[in-house]
Amino acid sequence: MKTITIFAIIAVSAPVFSQHLNRIIGGESVRPNVYPSVAYIADSSTSTICSGSLIAGGWILTAAHCLYGGSAKDTTVTISDSVIGNNPKLSIESYFIHKDYEPRSQKNDIAVIKLTQRAVGTHAKISSVRITDNMRLRAFGWGARNNSELVASTSLQTVLLETAPSSECKKNYPLFEGNGIGNQICTGKTPGNDTCLGDSGGPLMVLEDGTWKLAGITSFGAWPEGSKSSGLCGSDDVVGIYTNVNKYMAFLTTSTNATSQSFL
């Protein structure tokens, strides 16, 4: 389910939808010193590559499904705002998956990683902006750059996305409650631009007062039942589902013993 080299398609009944985990298509490489640092997370025991956000000196925010069933001792984190290069691999002390994470529906797809040492990099601040339909957002990640190149990128990628009308999102993912209403964010209407394999756990950011701040965590892609393009990132009919970080401040403060104000 988590490997960057294999597509994962999950069929869920009542209602039925297709979802593709670990998923930048149509983006561009990031220049140094422009955006917050993004974590490259690698688990050798499951061949998983994911992305994440540096939210404090020793803490990484990512998706629960990136860590579910994995091993802290086999997972390393590399921090960069542009290229992997020779940046050090950092070890993990422990991680915390949301207690109500649901692997089948991907509800509460959020987790934090505690590193064994402080990481050097620019922290991502969490946005307090309410996410609504038809908003421009920017995603980041170390994932695949096209559907035939299922390998991680060594240069950080970013792509502009837009939140889709909630009515459209519910056609693909009936469990979606609405942008700004439930605990998830839905993007779409940008064919050719999408997150893809290896981008899971990475940041979805919104421009707030001239600064890009953290709004969401890349979770999965959802296609209509029976779609011929199911599993293809950036297809005309895919929507992207992201965990709305601001809805989980209680989880963050409890897991890290930090104040909510320190993340804003």
**Per-residue confidence (pLDDT) for residue 14, from 0 to 100:** 25
| Measured CA angle at 19 (ends 64, 1), to 5 deg | 55
pTM of the predicted structure, to 2 decimals: 0.89
CA distance 13 to 16: 4
Question: Which residue in 19, 6, 58, 1 sits closest to 221, CA to CA?
Answer: 19
R_g of the chain, CA atoms, integer Å: 16
CA distance 215 to 124: 10
Give CA 105 to chain center in angstroms: 16
Task: Please give the residue range of the domain that contains residue 62.
Answer: 1-264
**Per-residue confidence (pLDDT) for residue 255, from 0 to 100:** 97
DSSP lists the bridge partners of residue 222 as 19, 239
**Per-residue confidence (pLDDT) for residue 3, from 0 to 100:** 24
Q: Which residues contact 233 (CB under 8 A, 6 or more apart)?
A: 20, 23, 25, 144, 147, 194, 195, 196, 197, 221
DSSP lists the bridge partners of residue 38 as 53, 80
**Per-residue confidence (pLDDT) for residue 149, from 0 to 100:** 67
- 154-189: pLDDT as tens digits: 899 999 999 999 999 999 999 999 999 999 999 998
Cβ-count burial 139-158 (b if 16+ within 10 Å, e if not): bbbbbbbebeebebbeebbb
DSSP lists the bridge partners of residue 126 as 214
Question: Which residue in 184, 153, 133 sits closest to 27, CA to CA?
Answer: 153
Question: Which residue in 110, 139, 157 sits closest to 240, CA to CA?
Answer: 139
Domain with residue 187: its CATH number is 2.40.10.10
151: left (phi over 0), alpha (psi -120 to 50) or beta: beta
Dig out the tokens for 104 from the structure: 């089948």
What are the counts of helices (DSSP H) followed by strands (DSSP E) for the chain?
2, 15
For the chain, what is the domain count? Answer: 1
pLDDT by residue for the chain (264 residues), tens digit each?
222 322 232 322 223 334 544 447 788 999 999 999 999 999 998 888 999 999 998 999 999 999 999 889 999 999 999 998 889 999 999 999 999 999 999 999 999 999 999 999 999 999 999 999 999 999 999 987 777 666 778 899 999 999 999 999 999 999 999 999 999 999 998 888 888 888 999 999 999 999 999 999 999 999 888 886 787 888 888 999 999 999 999 999 999 999 999 999
